[in-house]
C-alpha cells in the first residue's frame, strides 16, 4: 500500500498536468458511469493528497476520491501516447488537451460532495497528515491520547489518529524514537510523544524529498535475523494489527 509520501509525490505529478485544466472524466466503475454526463465541461481546481487518499477537486465543487490500496497505481500519458497498461484496468481516466492521467486497478473511486466526505465515517474521518501544511501536533496527540489501551504500533496504523503512516514508516519511526511498538499509549511520557511526532515528521519528509533512496534510511524494516544497527542487539519480528512488525528487543523499550 502506498504510504503518505508516495501519495503526496503522485499528487504533485497529477497537479502539474491537471490543475486548472478543462477535463474529460471517464469512469471504469460501473456504478459511476451514469454521472459522466453531469461532469462535462468541468475543470480540475486541485489535486490534493490527504493521508493515503487522492482528492480531485472539480470546478462544480464535487470531489473524486481515489484510494489505491495495495493494487492501484497512476500513469500519466502525453496526448496520443500509447498506454502501457490495459484499458480494462482503468478505473478513472482524466483527459486534458495535452495529457491523460489514469488510475489503474484502484479499488476505491468515489464521487462525493464535501458534505458527503465530511460525514463519511471512513473517508472523512482522517487524523492529521504530517505532510500537509495544516498538520496539528495538538490534534494528533489528542487523538492518540483518546486511545490509551492501544499499543503505539496499533495506533500508528489507525488512519483516524494520524494519516499517511503505513507499516514501513511506523517501524522506522519507533526505532528512531527508541520505543517498542508493544508499549501502551497510556504508558508513553510527554517526551516519548514528542520524539514520536518529531521522527514522524522527519522521516515522512525525507521519504518525500528522497524518493527512490529509501535504502539509505530504512534501518530495521525486514531486518529480522540481522543485528540491530544501533546496539547490535536482536531484531525481532511479530504480528501487530495484522502487519509484520520489526523492533529491536534490546534498545526499544
Tell me: the pLDDT tens digits for 153-209? 999 999 999 999 999 999 999 999 999 999 999 999 999 999 999 999 999 999 999
Residue 225 has what pLDDT?
A: 79
Domain identity same for 144 and 239: yes
78: β partners = 99
CB 79 within 8 A of CB 98: yes
Which helix H or strand E contains 182, and what residues bound it?
none
Domain identity same for 45 and 12: yes
CB 117 within 8 A of CB 124: yes
Q: What is the CATH number of the domain that holds 238?
A: 1.10.8.50
Domain identity same for 44 and 147: no
The crossing angle, in degrees rounded to 10, of helices 167-177 and 190-209 is: 130
Establish if 230 belongs to a structural domain.
yes
Domain identity same for 24 and 106: yes
pTM of the model: 0.94
Domain identity same for 157 and 52: no
In the predicted model, residues of the chain with pLDDT beneath 70 are 1
Q: Which domain holds residue 199?
A: 137-248
Establish if 253 belongs to a structural domain.
no
Domain identity same for 74 and 26: yes
Residue 78 has what pLDDT?
A: 97
User: Cα–Cα distance between 171 and 173 in angstroms, integer?
Assistant: 6
Which helix H or strand E contains 207, and what residues bound it?
helix 190-209
Q: What are phi and psi of 206, to 5 degrees?
A: -65, -45
CB 75 within 8 A of CB 104: yes
Residue 143 has what pLDDT?
A: 98
Residue 214 has what pLDDT?
A: 84
**pLDDT tens digits, 59-71:** 999 999 999 999 9
Domain identity same for 98 and 174: no
**Which of 202, 149, 150 lies closest to 175, judged by CA?**
202
Give the count of domains, the chain.
2
Domain identity same for 112 and 54: yes
Domain identity same for 10 and 112: yes
Interacting residues of 49 by C-beta distance below 8 A, sequence separation 6+: 4, 7, 8, 10, 11, 55, 129, 131, 132
Residue 1 has what pLDDT?
A: 67
Residue 165 has what pLDDT?
A: 97
Burial class of residue 187 (count of CB atoms within 10 Å of its CB; 0-12, 13-18, 19+):
exposed
Amino acid at each position: 500500500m502506498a504510504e503518505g509520501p508516495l501519495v503526496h509525490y503522485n499528487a504533485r505529478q497529477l497537479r502539474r498536468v491537471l490543475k486548472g485544466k478543462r477535463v474529460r472524466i471517464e469512469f471504469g466503475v460501473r456504478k459511476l458511469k451514469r454521472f459522466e454526463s453531469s461532469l462535462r465541461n468541468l475543470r480540475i481546481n486541485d489535486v490534493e493528497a490527504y493521508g493515503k487518499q487522492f482528492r480531485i477537486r472539480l470546478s462544480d465543487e464535487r470531489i473524486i476520491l481515489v484510494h489505491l490500496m495495495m493494487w492501484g497505481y497512476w500513469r500519466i500519458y502525453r496526448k496520443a501516447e500509447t498506454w502501457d497498461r490495459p484499458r480494462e484496468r482503468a478505473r478513472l481516466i482524466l483527459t486534458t488537451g495535452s495529457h491523460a492521467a489514469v488510475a489503474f486497478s484502484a479499488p476505491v473511486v468515489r464521487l462525493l460532495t464535501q458534505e458527503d466526505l465530511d460525514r463519511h465515517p471512513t473517508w472523512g474521518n482522517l487524523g492529521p497528515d504530517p505532510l500537509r501544511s495544516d498538520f496539528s501536533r495538538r490534534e494528533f496527540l489528542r487523538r492518540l491520547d483518546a486511545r490509551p489501551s492501544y499499543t503505539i504500533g496499533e495506533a500508528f496504523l489507525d488512519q483516524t489518529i494520524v494519516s499517511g503512516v503505513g507499516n514501513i514508516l511506523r517501524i522506522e519511526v519507533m526505532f528512531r524514537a527508541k520505543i517498542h511498538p508493544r508499549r501502551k499509549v497510556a504508558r508513553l511520557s510527554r517526551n516519548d510523544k514528542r520524539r514520536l511526532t518529531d521522527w514522524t515528521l522527519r522521516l515522512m519528509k525525507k521519504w518525500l524529498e528522497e524518493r527512490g533512496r529509501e535504502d539509505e534510511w530504512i534501518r530495521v524494516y525486514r531486518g529480522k535475523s540481522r543485528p540491530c544497527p544501533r546496539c547490535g542487539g536482536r531484531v525481532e519480528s511479530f504480528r501487530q494489527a495484522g502487519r509484520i512488525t520489526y523492533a529491536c528487543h534490546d534498545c526499544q523499550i
